[in-house]
Amino acid sequence: MKATVIDGKAFAATVRTKVAEHVTRLKEVHGITPGLAVVLLGEDPASQVYVRSKGKMTVEVGMNSFEHKLDAQTSEEDLLALIAKLNADQDVHGILVQLPLPGHLDSDLVINSIDPAKDVDGFHISNVGLLGTGQKSMVPCTPLGCLMMLRDHHGSLSGMNAVVVGRSNIVGKPMAQLLLGDSCTVTIAHSRTKDLPAVVRQADIVVAAVGRPQMIPGDWIKPGATVIDVGINRIDKPEGGTRLVGDADYDSCAAVAGAITPVPGGVGPMTIACLLANTVTACCRANGLKEPEGLTA
Ligand code: NDP
């Protein structure tokens, strides 16, 4: 068997097109331009790259992008004051504070100071609670992207066995909640899970969100299962230089799985597309308008 490759790059482009169509309608029919504010503290190169590409794609789909670059030493008081200003700004429908924050800042306090209705990362404790109780919320972008790809590939996920490897607050736990919401039977595995290979072999859907390069080999995969690889790991190439790999060992998994997302080009591009989708959703909700179909959980 050779797995179908789930092309996250192409799928993300279709999501962005849908977002752009919705933005055009919001502008033309309602005179509203959705706006996303991104707050970045410090000079972390990876964060700078993320923020730049978020800003570029925000503008490409026709939304307003507001970038706030602050010094790494910014005080909690000043950061909270900026967030309060953005919360009150009617032109801002989504607020994202780029993580990780410098060590002197309390990330939970900062995230929970964002208006939950503008919390397009879905990390505010209210959104976590709403998702956990199956209510309408802002959903974290990476798991939302995984869910969209799974729905697109399978249609209904009802009754499927899903194993999520990783229990972080930003990927593993919300992913499990979303799969439960789609009526999967969900197992969350982590570093203390006993006999992980046997657990993964039960899965019709494996979501790997561990952060360990090529940790999951093909012989852990049930034939025909779908593998969604969230991991982004940089490894050395034998010939020199580096390359990106996922948490699944792609070649051996692709030989057994029914479908698999590549790294790069799988989950990664969907994350930013879902950030844009969340911003348009937040804008519609803020204005009492119908939400875009197919862009929410
Ligand atoms: P975290 O480090 O927060 O969580 C990793 C999880 O993996 C933990 O729950 C940990 O278990 C578990 N784990 C670690 N080692 C093992 C093991 N040997 N066996 C089973 N479970 C293990 O990572 P994140 O969730 O933030 O990210 C996971 C990966 O996804 C990373 O590679 C990250 O770069 C990538 N990522 C990709 C995104 C994208 O857009 N594509 C977005 C976000 C993340 P325990 O809790 O017991 O320690």
Across the chain, mean pLDDT equals 97
Burial class (CB in 10 A: 0-12, 13-18, 19+), 86: buried
Give the tokens for residue 256: 């057994």
Answering whether pTM is above 0.75, one says yes
244 near 25, Cβ under 8 Å?
A: no
pLDDT one-digit tens code per residue, 216-254:
999 999 999 999 999 999 999 999 999 999 999 999 999
Interaxial angle between packed helices 141-154 and 172-181, expressed in degrees from 0 to 180 and rounded to the nearest 10:
40
Q: For ligand 1, pick from 146, 168, 187, 272 the residue to mutate: most ligand atoms within 8 Å of CB.
A: 168
What DSSP state is assigned to residue 34? -
The residue ranges of DSSP E strands in 104-241, in sequence order, are 161-165, 185-189, 205-208, 226-229, 233-236
* Torsion sign (Cα): 26, 30, 31, 36: negative
Look at residue 98 in the predicted model and tell me its pLDDT.
96
Lining residues, ligand 1, CB within 6 Å = 142, 165-168, 170-172, 189-193, 196, 209-212, 230-233, 267-268, 271
Short-list 90, 8, 28, CA closest to 20: 28
C-alpha gyration radius of the chain? 19
Which of 230, 263, 276 to mutate to test ligand 1, by most ligand atoms within 8 A of the CB atom? 230
Q: How confident is the model at residue 201 (pLDDT cuts 50, 70, 90)?
A: very high
Nearest alpha carbon, ligand 1 atom 24 = 168
What tens digit of pLDDT does each residue of 71-117 get? 999 999 999 999 999 999 999 999 999 999 999 999 999 999 999 99
Active site residue 89: no
54 is catalytic: yes
Amino acid type, 88? A
Name the percent of the chain lying above pLDDT 90. Answer: 98
Cβ distance 286 to 293 under 8 Å?
Answer: no
d(CA 250, CA 262): 7
Domains in the chain with CATH codes: 31-115 (3.40.50.10860), 141-269 (3.40.50.720)
Question: What φ, ψ does residue 296 adopt, rounded to 5°?
Answer: -125, 175
Could you say which of 98, 115, 214, 222 is catalytic?
A: 98
Q: Which helix (H) or strand (E) holds 151?
A: helix 141-154
**Exactly one of 115, 119, 121, 229 is catalytic; which is it?**
121
CB 82 within 8 A of CB 70: yes
Mean pLDDT, residues 127-148? 97
Residue 106: the pLDDT is 98
Partnered with residue 35 across adjacent β-strands are: 64
Residue 106 annotated as catalytic: no
Helix (H) or strand (E) holding 37: strand 35-41
The answer to whether 280 touches 118, Cβ cutoff 8 Å, is: no
Q: How many CB atoms lie within 10 A of CB 192?
A: 7
H/E run at residue 10: helix 8-30
In whole angstroms, what is the distance from residue 97 CA to residue 90 CA?
A: 18
Tokens of 52: 């730049």
Nearest protein CA to atom 35 of ligand 1, as residue:
231
Is residue 55 pLDDT above 80, yes or no? Answer: yes
pLDDT the model gives residue 1: 64
Residue located nearest, by CA, to atom 3 of ligand 1: 168
How sure is the predictor about 2, in pLDDT bands with cuts at 50, 70 and 90? confident
What is the pairing mode between strands 233-236 and 242-245? antiparallel
